[in-house]
């Protein structure tokens, strides 16, 4: 019989033969015969988000779904006291499993992010003096628990039953309670008065970063000034939103930007300014010239251009080009793309990133288990960063460099 997986949460599975009593589906019901009102019990996605999977994949995923169901209620109560995530291994089932939504086109860029990271392995080195690694750091002057930030994401309201404002809040608040900082994305949806990302930012007292799509200068200047009023940690644009189909369809045109246009945005605000979506030396150097305080090396999780390289493939040479310039020595560099665990975080740091953004693993929690889930995944990541540092003889974040990497064709 045919088996299905929810491509949004990557957790819910459906077997046509068995049906699904939990959501009122009788045995031998095809997905096309589900009522239109049906929603994924994990994430709220609609039935058209179920994708066919093989028997083998079904049995792999079924275990995670069963565990998810059994633990769901338990999780909420246990989490309150889960100070040390290592003592809660049974809760780790879905850690490392990304949100199911893949990349644009054939998904080659999405896959290249994973392949690029897997070309690097960590060099285990243990005969050195033991010290507890220091993971805490500061991002733009704010103390944070680890060099990991919540990536800007939006549009999840198109594929699940969460509203944009709640999604943004769950990311920001989840990051905040985990001791770090989350970013918000820029939805193409219409909104009443205030942009949902700014409403969410206000709810967390400005402890977040707003990233906007590269719309017209007027629209951006207005949004930036609103973020500034809420005292955001920083504000910026994801310049690789320039090809966004959703924005075009919604009648909100998006554009590439010139150095002068970025300068105008940067000089309009006293907040630190971020240019995210950089995948080549030319754009990195142009962003530095425009005065960006932070540049984000990112291919947007493979969601905006197919057939691009993985972030870990280009990171080292972009960092090198930036650091060779006088202004580029001070610029903060973030990286994201394919990061699932704390071990991936350490690899990105070793390739030269100052901070690493995590997206899909947090998105899945933001739409299913909310703030607590976002916090829990970040705690797992922190636990693994610590383990990786101990096992590679890194006592501080500064010690994490290419010497701890082994490169090869694995
Ligand atoms: Fe789902």
- The arithmetic mean of pLDDT across residues 210-220, rounded, is 98
| Residues 167 and 185: beta-carbon distance below 8 Å | no
Q: Give the model confidence (pLDDT) of 5-46 as tens digits.
A: 998 888 899 999 999 988 899 999 999 999 998 988 887 888
* CB atoms inside a 10 Å sphere around CB 248: 12
Ion ligand 1: residue ranges with CB closer than 5 A: 6, 8-9, 12, 40, 42-43, 45
- Please determine, for residue 83, whether its predicted confidence score (pLDDT) is greater than 50: no
- Banded pLDDT at 62 (limits 50, 70, 90): confident
Distance in Å, CA 135 to ligand 1 centroid: 33
pLDDT tens-place string over residues 93-146: 678 777 888 889 999 999 999 999 999 999 999 999 999 999 999 999 999 999
Q: Is the pLDDT of residue 77 over 60?
A: no
Instruction: Specify the pLDDT at position 81.
Output: 38
Residue 69 Cα to ligand 1 midpoint, Å, equals 12
CA dihedral for 306, 310, 313, 316, sign (positive or negative): positive
Sequence-distant (6+) residues with CB within 8 A of 192 are none
Cα 46 to ligand 1 centroid, rounded to whole Å: 8
Q: How far is the CA of 12 from the centre of ligand 1 (A)?
A: 5
Interval between CA 156 and ligand 1 midpoint (Å):
11
CA of 201 to the centre of ligand 1 (A): 26
CA of 48 to the centre of ligand 1 (A): 11
Mean pLDDT lowest for which of 60-64, 104-108, 341-345, 366-370?
60-64
Q: Cα-flanking dihedrals φ and ψ of residue 94, to 5°?
A: -95, 0
pTM for the model? 0.89
Q: Which pLDDT value is given to residue 96?
A: 79
| Local confidence band at 4 (pLDDT 50, 70, 90 cut-offs) | very high
Write the pLDDT tens digit of every residue in 321-332: 999 999 999 999
- Element holding 146 (H helix, E strand): none
358 Cα: distance to centroid of ligand 1 (angstroms): 20
Cα 68 to ligand 1 centre (Å): 12
Distance separating alpha carbons of residues 42 and 9, to the nearest angstrom = 7
């Amino acid at each position: 019989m045919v088996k299905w997986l929810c491509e949004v949460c990557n957790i819910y599975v459906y077997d046509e033969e068995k049906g699904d009593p939990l959501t009122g589906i009788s045995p031998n019901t095809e997905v096309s015969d589900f009522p239109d009102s049906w929603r994924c019990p994990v994430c709220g996605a609609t039935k058209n988000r179920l994708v066919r999977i093989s028997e083998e994949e079904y049995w792999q995923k079924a275990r995670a779904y069963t565990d998810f169901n059994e633990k769901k209620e338990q999780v909420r109560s246990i989490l309150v006291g889960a100070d040390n995530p290592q003592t809660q291994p049974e809760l780790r089932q879905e850690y490392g499993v990304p949100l199911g939504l893949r990349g644009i086109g054939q998904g080659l860029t999405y896959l290249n992010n994973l392949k690029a990271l897997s070309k690097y392995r960590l060099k285990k080195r243990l005969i050195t003096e033991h010290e507890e690694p220091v993971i805490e750091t500061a991002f733009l002057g704010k103390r944070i628990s680890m060099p990991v930030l919540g990536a800007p994401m939006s549009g999840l309201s198109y594929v699940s039953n969460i509203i944009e404002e709640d999604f943004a809040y769950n990311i920001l608040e989840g990051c905040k309670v985990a001791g770090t900082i989350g970013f918000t994305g820029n939805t193409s949806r219409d909104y009443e008065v205030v942009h949902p990302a700014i409403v969410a930012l206000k709810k967390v007292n400005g402890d977040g970063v707003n990233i906007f799509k590269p719309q017209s200068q007027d629209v951006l200047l207005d949004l930036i000034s609103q973020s500034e009023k809420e005292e955001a940690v920083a504000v910026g644009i994801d310049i690789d939103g320039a090809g966004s189909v959703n924005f075009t369809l919604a009648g909100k045109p998006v554009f590439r930007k010139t150095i002068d246009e970025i300068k105008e945005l940067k000089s309009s605000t006293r907040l630190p300014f971020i240019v995210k979506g950089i995948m080549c030396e030319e754009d990195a150097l142009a962003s530095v010239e425009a005065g960006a305080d932070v540049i984000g090396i990112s291919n947007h999780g493979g969601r905006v251009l197919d057939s691009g390289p993985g972030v870990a493939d280009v990171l080292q040479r972009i960092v090198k080009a930036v650091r060779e310039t006088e202004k580029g020595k001070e610029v903060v560099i973030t990286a994201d793309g394919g990061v699932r665990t704390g071990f991936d975080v350490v690899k990105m740091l070793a390739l030269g990133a100052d901070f690493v953004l995590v997206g899909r693993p947090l998105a899945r929690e933001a739409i299913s288990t909310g703030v607590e889930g976002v916090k829990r995944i970040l705690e797992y990541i922190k636990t693994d960063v610590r383990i990786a540092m101990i096992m590679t003889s890194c006592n501080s974040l500064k010690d994490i460099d290419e010497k701890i990497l082994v490169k090869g064709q694995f």
